[in-house]
């Protein structure tokens, strides 16, 4: 039991400084961060983590998909470690806290436990999961965590390519070369438990004046790609009657989908985030449109009912064009209950931090860690709930408070 000693050693200024340091890796003119998965910027974020850990004598490891582990040894190396972490990659116009907070809070917790002179039976590891942000560079999200959990085969992930045709395998190799001091680690490692700290990416905690969110579940998600095929034509000569305009059909389809997914209590989250028109030339009637669907809900039955109707809605609104809707990903709702959320709650209470139970609208690597070990999440507020946006913001106090709770929980778990 740490009874507050580890939490008390969390250094708010050090944690904030490291966020600002990491934010330089991909800093955008509007003060956000563009650090796409497995780019040199993302590799250098691993390098920074390794250097900070090395100052403490923590060793760093990397696995075949680029997941990165900074390890503080326990007294019994034969025991599976307790892990904590998140992701260093961002959306194309991301913020300074999504993902990286969970990685830096984990390192900060290890350092605070070190500063408190607390030994633990199990080793503690701060983790970077590769490519959490699906679609930003590579087409698969939560890639590193789902490969680590054995849900996705390594070979299937390695052969994926970005928009320039660079494969994950090539990008991992390049990342590996930028952190030569890291030790190779095979997949398949046992984990005793996993805790992820993350900004809420929603407005609830701030609106209710709470510092800590004890996450009760992550809602489920279904993702699709829809391809609409018409016929390229001359903008000046083809009559409306003869056109097979893929843009007109795609916009009719998306409007119908927005109506389909509009629920009275505003729980459904439906987004068309990518919409590409080909050949994308002003004097050519578009012959092809491809758009994305991101649909989320906490109830599996609703995910099935509304998601299964996507194909029918597309076909009913295609006009003279052809349409094909392909599901590209599906994750079920993931509940968090039992010991780990209880430890988070009691640590927040012990530290005198206000807290509330909260559902995660966003997806996280914890979805996959929960398949292989006891897992839980700690949320802290972000300003106006804004995220996946360059103006994403959080306060040093809230970030440090989440790290204090994390440090307390990790001590408890690592001594079980």
Contact positions vs ligand HGY (CB under 6 A):
132-133, 141, 362-363
Residue with Cβ nearer ligand HGY (113 or 377): 377
- CB of 91 vs ligand HGY, minimal distance in Å: 8
Q: φ, ψ for residue 83 (rounded to 5)?
A: -120, 155
- CB of 284 vs ligand HGY, minimal distance in Å: 33
- Picked from ligand HGY, Mn ion, none, the partner binding residue 141 (CB below 5 to 8 A depending on kind) is ligand HGY
Residue with Cβ nearer Mn ion (71 or 388): 388
Residue with Cβ nearer Mn ion (59 or 364): 364
Residue with Cβ nearer Mn ion (52 or 97): 97
Which residues ranging from 65 to 104 are in contact with Mn ion (CB under 5 A)? 98-99
Q: Is 42 in the site for Mn ion (CB under 5 A)?
A: no
Neighbours of 106 (CB within 10 A): 28
How many chain residues touch Mn ion (CB under 5 A)? Answer: 2
Tokens of 340: 């780990």
Q: Is 111 in the site for Mn ion (CB under 5 A)?
A: no
Name 278's Cβ contacts closer than 8 Å, sequence gap at least 6.
Answer: 246, 286, 287, 288, 289, 290
Cβ contact 198:359 at 8 Å:
no
Residue with Cβ nearer Mn ion (44 or 200): 200
- CB of 256 vs ligand HGY, minimal distance in Å: 24
CA 412 – CA 410 distance, rounded (Å): 5
- Picked from ligand HGY, Mn ion, none, the partner binding residue 398 (CB below 5 to 8 A depending on kind) is none
- CB of 363 vs Mn ion, minimal distance in Å: 8
Task: Say if residue 76 is exposed, middle or buried (CB neighbours under 10 Å; 0-12, 13-18, 19+).
Answer: exposed
- CB of 92 vs Mn ion, minimal distance in Å: 11
Q: φ, ψ for residue 98 (rounded to 5)?
A: -55, 120
- CB of 182 vs ligand HGY, minimal distance in Å: 25
**DSSP summary character for residue 384:** G
23, 48, 131, 231, 403 from 45: Cα distances, Å: 9, 5, 13, 46, 19
């Amino acid at each position: 039991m740490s009874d507050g000693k580890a939490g008390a050693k969390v250094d708010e200024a050090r944690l904030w400084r490291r966020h600002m340091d990491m934010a330089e890796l991909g800093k955008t003119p509007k003060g956000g961060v563009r650090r796409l998965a497995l780019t040199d910027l993302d590799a250098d974020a691993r390098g920074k983590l390794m250097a900070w850990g090395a100052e403490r004598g923590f060793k760093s490891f990397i696995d075949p998909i680029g997941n990165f582990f900074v390890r503080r040894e326990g007294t019994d190396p034969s025991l599976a470690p307790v892990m904590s972490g998140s992701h260093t990659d961002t959306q194309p116009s991301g913020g300074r806290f999504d993902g990286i907070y969970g990685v830096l809070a984990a390192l900060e917790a290890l350092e605070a436990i070190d500063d408190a002179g607390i030994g633990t039976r199990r080793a503690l590891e701060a983790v970077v999961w590769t490519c959490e942000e699906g679609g930003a560079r590579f087409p698969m999200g939560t890639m590193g965590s789902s490969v680590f959990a054995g849900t996705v085969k390594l070979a299937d992930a390695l052969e994926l390519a970005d928009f320039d045709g660079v494969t994950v395998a090539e990008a991992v190799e390049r990342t590996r070369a930028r952190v030569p001091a890291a030790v190779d680690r095979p997949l398949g490692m046992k984990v005793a438990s996993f805790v992820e700290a993350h900004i809420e990416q929603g407005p609830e905690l701030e609106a209710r004046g709470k510092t800590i969110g004890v996450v009760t579940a992550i809602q489920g998600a279904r993702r699709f790609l829809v391809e609409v095929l018409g016929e390229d034509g001359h903008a000046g000569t083809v009559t409306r009657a003869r056109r097979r305009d893929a843009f007109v059909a795609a916009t009719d389809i998306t409007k119908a989908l927005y109506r389909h997914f509009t629920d009275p209590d505003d729980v459904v989250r439906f987004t068309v985030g990518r919409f590409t028109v080909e050949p994308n030339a002003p004097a050519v009637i578009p012959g092809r449109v491809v758009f994305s669907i991101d649909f989320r809900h906490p109830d599996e039955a609703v995910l099935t009912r509304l998601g299964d109707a996507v194909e029918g809605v597309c076909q009913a609104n295609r006009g003279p064009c052809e349409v094909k809707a392909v599901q590209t990903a599906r994750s079920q709702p993931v509940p968090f209950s039992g010991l780990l959320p209880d430890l988070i709650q009691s640590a927040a209470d012990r530290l005198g931090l206000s807290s509330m139970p909260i559902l995660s609208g966003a997806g996280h690597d914890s979805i996959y860690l929960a398949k292989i070990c006891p897992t839980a999440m700690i949320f802290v507020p972000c300003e106006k709930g804004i995220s996946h946006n360059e103006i994403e913001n959080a306060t040093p106090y809230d970030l440090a408070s989440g790290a204090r709770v994390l440090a307390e929980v990790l001590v408890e778990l690592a001594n079980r």
